[in-house]
A and B are shown apart, each in its own frame.
Chain A
Amino acid sequence: MATSYADTPPAAGRTSLLYAVKRLELAVRSQLDDMLKPAGITALQYTALTVLERHDGLPAAQLARDSFVTPQSIADMVRTLEARGLVHRERNPRNGRELLIHLTEDGRWLLVKYAAPVADLEERMLSSLSPGQVDHFRRVLTAAWRALS
């Protein structure tokens, strides 16, 4: 690669790792947005659906945390997904004042439909790396995250 960070001046190269993480996240999100466009949902909305796939029936605050959405924007997102028929809200049987968010059949179908393309996206991102490099990448991504939490 002609463009190593080594030949950028120190002042410009300083934040390069954090900047590279940001650029990669943005690239993945933009790929996903394109892929999901026919379904009429964004990458963030899709993430929320995958969270519900793992744990159906969550209060909005919890869904917000697990989907990386602010508490302010989760209400809008749930309304949008509800209008699209992908989720529905039901009273918590154990606490009638709390609404829990569930996947609908359409929501589940959408997740099934996109499971393979989303897996392909991940595979494509990692296609030039050896399994050892992928392991290492996972370890560093996790270690750096832990150092912040």
Chain B
Amino acid sequence: MLTVPAPDTQTAPRVTYLVKRLELAVRGEIERLMRPLGLTTHQYTALSVLARHPGLSSAQLARRSFISPQAANEIVALMERKGLVVREADPRNRRILRMSLTDAGEAVLRAGDELVDELEHRMFARLRHAEVEMFRSTLEVCLNEFTGTDYH
């Protein structure tokens, strides 16, 4: 991210800066796309994560959605009021509440996914398939330098 090139150099901006810039543009775009669906970006991310991993606790959701536990609690409470998720006590530990999507939650997520598909398509439409695949693997390689493991 960061770093605009130093003033005395003519070099290209840092790659980390380009990554940050792109991430920010994507975030803004998703925010705009989700507004008509009544979702914030965080809520959309939380719904995607829950669709992939039903039964998460709020703390687990926070970790996977890149938000703080407090923020996750607020998002979950709000989405529960809107009827998008339900919480049920874990049969093995009644103090843990496990979440899943309702039908309404799944429907709004599908609508959101379609919009994000279109967004992703728009971003890479001018590139060849092989270039997109190389980009995908480069992102993974870079990420692995920091995490040391594959994420999934």
Contact = CB atoms under 8 A, between A and B. Distances in A.
Contact of A17 (B5, B136, B141): B136
B4 interface: yes
Contacts of A21: 19, 22-23, 26, 139
Interface residues of B, number: 56
A15 B117 contact: yes
Nearest to B135: A140
A42 to B, nearest CB: 11
Interface stretch (B70-78, B81-89, B90-98, B121-129): B121-129
Contacts, number: 167
Contacts of B139: 17, 20-21, 23-24
Given A29-B1, A125-B145, A145-B21, A18 B119 contact: yes
Contacts of A27: 143, 146-147
A141 B134 contact: no
A2 interface: yes
A24 B136 contact: no
Given A14-B113, A17-B120, A17-B136, A68 B127 contact: no
A128 B135 contact: no
A20 B136 contact: yes
Interface in B10-32: 12, 14-16, 18-27, 29-30
Interface stretch (A43-51, A76-84, A85-93): A43-51
A26 B151 CA distance: 13
A62 interface: no
Interface in B93-121: 113, 116-117, 119-120
A143 B25 CA distance: 12
Given A17-B132, A21-B139, A136-B131, A54 B2 contact: no
A32 B146 CA distance: 11
Given A14-B113, A15-B113, A122-B14, 12 more contacts: A3-B150, A14-B116, A15-B117, A18-B30, A24-B19, A25-B20, A125-B142, A136-B134, A141-B19, A143-B126, A145-B21, A145-B22
**What 7 A-B pairs are tightest by C-beta distance, nearest first?**
A25-B23, A141-B18, A3-B150, A20-B139, A27-B146, A3-B152, A144-B123
